[in-house]
Structure 1
Amino acid sequence: MNAKAGVADAVPQTNMSSLALRYSLHLLFVAVILAFSIALPKTYPTLINAQTIASTNAVLALLALAAIPTLVAGQFDLSIGFQLALAQSLCAGMIVYGGLPPVVAIGLTLAAGLALGAINGWLVAYCGLNAFITTLATGIVIQGATQWYTDGTSIFGAMPGAFLGFGRASLVGIPLPCIYVILAGCALWFAYEHTSWGRRAFAIGGNSRAAQLIGIPIKRMTLEAFMLGSLLSAVAGILSAAILGSANPNIGVNFLLPAFAAVFLGAAPQGPGRFNSWGTILAVYTLAAGIAGLQQLGAAFYVEQFFNGGALLVAIILARWIAARRARASV
C-alpha cells in the first residue's frame, strides 16, 4: 500500500518538475520583469519602456531567428552578423548615395542576401567544407566588402519618410519592428512544426546519415537553410537601417554573440537541438529586459557582455542537464 502511494506521489512530482523545466524561460522572463518593476517602480513598468525594449531589440531578434535554419540542419552560420552589416550598408547606401527608391533598394538587398546564403550553402553542402570555419571565413570577406563599399565610414543622409516609418512607426501602440519579429517567428514556427520540410530539416540535424538513408535530399535542404538564414539576416539589416536612418559597417559583430546566446537559451528548456522561434524570441526579450533594468539601475556599459555570456553558459549547462536527465529516464 505504501509502495503504491509512493509511486502515485512520484508521478505528480515528476510532472510538475517537467512542467517547470519546460516553462523555465517563461518563469525567468516574468521574474525579471517583476524584480525590476519593484526596484524601479517609476521608470521600468511603463508603456514607454516596454515599447523601447520591444523596438530596439527587434533587429537582434530577427538576427537570432536567422541563426535557426542552419542550426536545425546541424550546421553553423557565423557570417550572419556580417551579413546584417552589409545589408544595412547596401540598403542605406543605395537610398542615400544612389537615389534609388526604397522598394528597389530593399529588393536588391534581399537578393544580395539570398546570393550570399547560396554561396555559403554551396560551399558547405556541395563542396563538403566545414560550416564553422567556412562561414567564419566568408564572414570576414563580407566584412571586408562592407568596409570597401562604405569606405570604412558610417552612411548618413536624407531618407524617405516612408522608409523610416517602416522601422519607427507603430500599430495600436505596438512598434512595427516588434510586429515584424512576431510575423517572422510565426513563419518559422509554421515551417518547422507543421510542414514536411521542417520535419526533414530536424531529421538532418538529428542524424544526417539516417536522413540520407531514407531519401531526404540533405545537400539541397542544407543549401535552403543557409539561404533562409541569409534572407532573414538581410531583413534584419534593412530594418536596422530604417530604425537608425543610417548605417554602420561595423555593427554586425556586436549582434553575433547575443543572437546565438538567445537561440541556445531559447532551445535549452526543450532539450538539445530543439531550436525554435518562440523560445528564441522570448530569450531575446528576457535578456533585453534584464539588461535594460540593470542599465536603469546604473550598471556599467560592459554588464551586457557579462549578461549575454552568462546566459549562453547557463543555456549550455541546462541543455546538457536535460539530455542527461532524459538518458537516465530512458534506462
Structure 2
Amino acid sequence: MSNESGVGVSTRQPPAEPAVVTVSADRRSGRITDVLSQYSLIGVLVLLCVVFSLWNPKVFASTANLQTILLQQATVGLVALAVMVPLVAGQFDLSTGFQFGLAQSLCALLVIRQGWNPLVAIIVVLATGALIGVVNGQLITRLGLPSFTTTLGTGLVVLGISEFLTQNQVIAGSAPAWFLNLGRGRLLGVPAPFLYLAVVAVVLFVVLEMTVWGRRAYAVGANPAAARLSGISTDRLVRQSFIVTGVLCAVAGCISVTSLGGSSPVIGLGSLLPAFAAAFLGATCIRPGRYNVAGTVIAVYVIGVGIIGLQQKGAEVYVQDLFNGAALLIAVIVATLARRRKRAV
C-alpha cells in the first residue's frame, strides 16, 4: 500500500510471539507460586516428620509416638477451630483458652467429685459454653464493644470462676469406665480424640465452605459494611460465631477430661497462644489469605510435631513458647507480604 506521494508504507505489525511467550511464562510462574503457597505447610509437616525420624528414629519414628502426637494435639486443634470461627467473621475471641479451662474443670468437677451422670454433665458443660458465647456476642454487638478487649475481660472472669470451682487444685479420681473410654479408646489404632477432631473439622468445613451461613460469615469478615448493605444481618452472624466458639471449647474440655481422667487449673492459660498461632498460620495455606479449617488443622500438627520432636531430643520446656511465637510471627509476615503482592498486581 502507498500514500499519495508514492512513498510505500508498510502496514505489517511486528511479531507478537515474544509478548505471548512472556505472558504465558508469567501465568505459569503465577500458578507455581499459588500451588507452593497453598501446599507449602503440608511440605513443612512432611519435612519435619522426615527430619525427626532420621534424627531420633527409635523414639519419633514409631507408631506409639504417632498416636501420642495425634492424641495430644487433638484438643489444641479443637480450640484452634474455636478461635478461627470468630476470625472468619472479623472478630477476636481471647476468652477461648479460659473457656476451655472452665469446661474441663466443670466437667471433671461434676463427674468425678459430684458423681453426676456423665451425659448430664456434658450437656451442662455444653450449655455453659453456649452461654459464654451468648454473653460475648451480646456485649460486642449490642453495646458496640471491641471484641479484643471485651473477650479478654470475659476470659479473665471465666478464669476466676474456674479457680473458684476448683479451688485452684487438680481434680482427679474415679469416673465411669465408659466415660473415660470415650477419650482413651482407639479405632484401628487411631486415638478417639483425633477422630472427634476430624469429625468437627469436616462439619465445620462443610458449614463454612458449602453453606449460605459460611459464605455470609466470610463476607462479614471481609467487609462488614458491604455485607450489611447486601442484606446480611451482621450482628446476628457475629453472635452466632461466638456461640459456636463457646460450644467448641466446651467439647474440647469434655474430651480432655475423658482422655486425662481429670482436670488442671492451668490448662486454659497455655492453650490460647497455640490456638491463635495455628489459626493464623493456617491462613497461609490451602486458602492463602483466608482463615480455613484444613489449614488450621495442618498448622496445629506442624507446630505440635516441631515441639514434640525437639522435646524428645532434650529441648527445654520453653521451646514450646518459642515455637508458638515463631509460628505466629511467620504467619503475620507471610500474610503481610501476600497483601502487598496483591496490591502490586
Q: TM-score, normalised on structure 2?
A: 0.93
CA contact 2:38–2:288 (8 Å) conserved in 1: no
- Offset of 1:218 from its aligned partner? 1.0
Q: Which residue of 2 aligns with 1:271?
A: 288
Q: Which residue of 1 aligns with 2:323?
A: 307
Structure-2 separation of matches of 1:22 and 1:302 = 30
- Offset of 1:7 from its aligned partner? 3.1
Q: Which residue of 1 aligns with 2:37?
A: 21
Post-superposition CA distance 1:12-60 (Å, at most 9, x none): 2221122111111111111111111111122212111110000011110
Q: Which residue of 2 aligns with 1:87?
A: 103
Of residues 130, 135, 138, the one that matches 2:151 is 135
Post-superposition CA distance 1:57-100 (Å, at most 9, x none): 11100000101111111111100111111111111111122111
Q: Which residue of 2 aligns with 1:100?
A: 116
Map 1:225-264; keep pairs closer than 5 Å.
225-264=241-280
Map 1:154-169; keep pairs closer than 5 Å.
154-169=170-185
Of residues 211, 214, 225, the one that matches 2:230 is 214
Pair member with larger Rg: 2
Unpaired runs of at least 5, structure 1: none
- Matched to 2:23, the amino acid is V
Q: Secondary structure in 1 aligned to 2:291?
A: coil
- Matched to 2:228, the amino acid is Q
Runs of 4+ more than 6 Å apart:
none
- Offset of 1:205 from its aligned partner? 0.5
- Matched to 1:322, the amino acid is A
Task: Establish whether residue 173 from structure 1 lines up as the match of residue 192 from structure 2.
Answer: no
Post-superposition CA distance 1:202-261 (Å, at most 9, x none): 111111011111110111111100000010001111111111111112210100000000
Q: Percent identity?
A: 43
- Matched to 1:271, the amino acid is P
Bigger share in helix: 1
Aligned pairs, how many? 328
Q: Secondary structure in 2 aligned to 1:41?
A: coil
- Matched to 2:239, the amino acid is L
- Matched to 1:234, the amino acid is A
- Offset of 1:185 from its aligned partner? 0.5
- Offset of 1:8 from its aligned partner? 2.8
Unpaired runs of at least 5, structure 2: 1-16
Post-superposition CA distance 1:275-296 (Å, at most 9, x none): 1111101000011111111111
Post-superposition CA distance 1:113-169 (Å, at most 9, x none): 101110111001111111111110010111111111111111111111111111111
Q: Which residue of 1 aligns with 2:220?
A: 204
Map 1:182-197; keep pairs closer than 5 Å.
182-197=198-213
Structure-2 separation of matches of 1:112 and 1:61 = 20
- Matched to 2:320, the amino acid is E
User: Which deviates further from its counterpart, 170-179 or 15-24?
Assistant: 15-24
Of residues 43, 61, 64, the one that matches 1:45 is 61
CA contact 2:273–2:324 (8 Å) conserved in 1: yes
Q: Secondary structure in 1 aligned to 2:116?
A: coil
Structure-1 separation of matches of 2:193 and 2:239 = 28
Instruction: Please give the root-mean-square deviation of Cα atoms over the aligned residues, in Å.
Output: 1.1
Structure-1 separation of matches of 2:307 and 2:333 = 21
Q: Secondary structure in 2 aligned to 1:23?
A: helix
Structure-1 separation of matches of 2:253 and 2:193 = 12
Structure-2 separation of matches of 1:14 and 1:116 = 45
